[in-house]
Amino acid sequence: MALEMVEFSVVLTKLKSLFDKSGGLILFKSLLITGLSFYLFYIFFANQSPELSTSLRYGWDSYAHHSFSNAAAATNISQIVFGVSSSINTWRNRRHYIEEWWQPNITRGFVWLDRIPSGFFPWSPSSPPYRVSADITGAFKNYNKHGMSQAIRMTRVILETFRESNESVRWFVLTDDDTVLLVDNLVEVLARYDHNKYYYIGGNSESISANDLNSFEMAFGGAGCALSFPLAKGLVIHLDECIKRYPTLYGSDHILQSCIIEFGVSLTQERGFHQIDLHRDIWGFLSAHPQAPLISFHHIDVVEPIFPSMDRHQSLKHLMKAAKVDSSRLLQQTICYHKKSNWSFSISWGYSAQIYEKIHPPNFLQRPLQTFLPWSNRARPGFMFNTRPLSRDPCEAPHVFFFGSVERENRTQVITSYIRRWPRNLPTCLSSGNHSADSISEIRVFSPLKRLNNWVGRRECCDIVRFLDLTVTEVRVRGCRNDEVVA
């Protein structure tokens, strides 16, 4: 502060001598008053905000532009840039995953490849534009004990994406080429956070062993993670040197997290990011999604197709039919009861429906059926959530229906249908009154066109409307009333 005052007084002395020689004393006094006013303004606001101080010293750079943007304006898709890690060897089989969510001329970002994609020309206009990562083999030759040059290349995707596109950006989202994103849900979630602050947003692995081997405080990269502009800007300045400080780490997401920790930034977890560190059939997991917007799911090539009688690509396209109508409600679980029959209904909107021939409380139904296996059976096997074992007890085994179709009935209502895919092949639950659901072949669900914001954080309610010819059940989804309990 004292040094700044001395510098300022020296400038004034030189200016006064010039004006005295030219007889411009009056003009000098006017400039003196203006200069002092500006300086007092600078001192006051610089002490209030270090960012403003930096901007005034070195010019209104891009960070100042972001800091003084209209914070009241909600984040939109044009303010998010995506960096997709890929390679020539994987792109051919995985590009259709990316093309399911990429929106040409709307979404911004790049696919980062390890070399020029000579076999892919002309480049598909349905894919993100590609870039080739810098050759860093020599520069980082001795800086990864696992020989993971690809991990270092993928860590640097944030740096290279930032350099390619950072104008009017609030968030950078990093993901892999075998990950599907629900872009509208991602925008809605990121809009809740102040993009002018340091944020590192993502999700853990579903597997205890995967978190244990890496970090419970890490956003798993395949599921995707979001970095606010200030964090990304600071990170890229120091990233290459930081990478060299962690030669023993295995994966790019762990290296990135370690560099972010150096800024004092911890992971902000959002439950809609899904690494899918699971094996086999994940319908039990998807049928009891947590009460959070679905943002991503990874490892599509590892698990079985999510719909019966479809391959992975067909299954994905089928799920996205529902997502394109209402992504906010996708996989959101709704629970209701038909008390006359003693049946419990669990609806995973846009994916599956289940009927249990017994009244089960919500804390039972919201636990996923364990139709899947953990990622690894090494130390600390198991999951980061509670599960229910599969059962042959007719009172606990559900009748299972899968998403068949979706249509807008009118401007305010959507109808989704769920079709039985296989017979349950179990006797009726006698302890609940011997009411069999074997005859039900279809469940039709009527729901409002969009899930309202005031429902966020709370499960929707539903009512069993009627039965048609004992083969079709109609269910109506609605917002729960104040103080309503589902029990």
DSSP secondary structure, 133-182, as one string: ----TTTTTTS-TT--HHHHHHHTHHHHHHHH--TT--EEEEEETT-EE-
Query: What pLDDT, on a 0 to 100 scale, did the predictor assign at position 147?
Result: 53
Span 77-274 CATH architecture: Alpha-Beta Complex (3.90)
pLDDT in tens, 458-482: 889 999 998 988 899 999 999 888 8
More confident residue, 433 or 294: 294
**Percentage of the chain lying above the pLDDT 90 cut:** 68
- What pLDDT, in 10s, does the model give residues 308-317? 999 999 999 9
Residues 6+ apart with CB under 8 A from 221: 85, 154, 174, 175, 176, 251, 252, 253, 256
The tally of CA atoms less than 13 A away on the side-chain side of residue 286 is 29
Look at the block and give the residue holding tokens 């229906």. 401
What pLDDT, on the 0 to 100 scale, is given for residue 150?
85
Rounded Cα gap, residues 160 and 168, in angstroms? 17
Q: According to the model, what pLDDT value does residue 146 have?
A: 57
374 backbone dihedrals φ, ψ, rounded to 5°:
-70, 160
pLDDT at 264: 97
**In the predicted structure, residue 47 carries a pLDDT above the cut 60:** no
In angstroms, the CA 28 to CA 296 distance is: 63
Asked if pLDDT for residue 50 goes beyond 60, the answer is no
Count of other CB atoms within 10 angstroms of residue 165: 15
403, pLDDT greater than 70? yes
Give the mean pLDDT of 57-70. Answer: 40
Strand order across the 296-297 sheet: 180-181, 296-297, 273-274
Mean model confidence pLDDT for the chain: 85
Task: Give residue 452's pLDDT.
Answer: 61
The whole-number pLDDT of residue 410 equals: 81
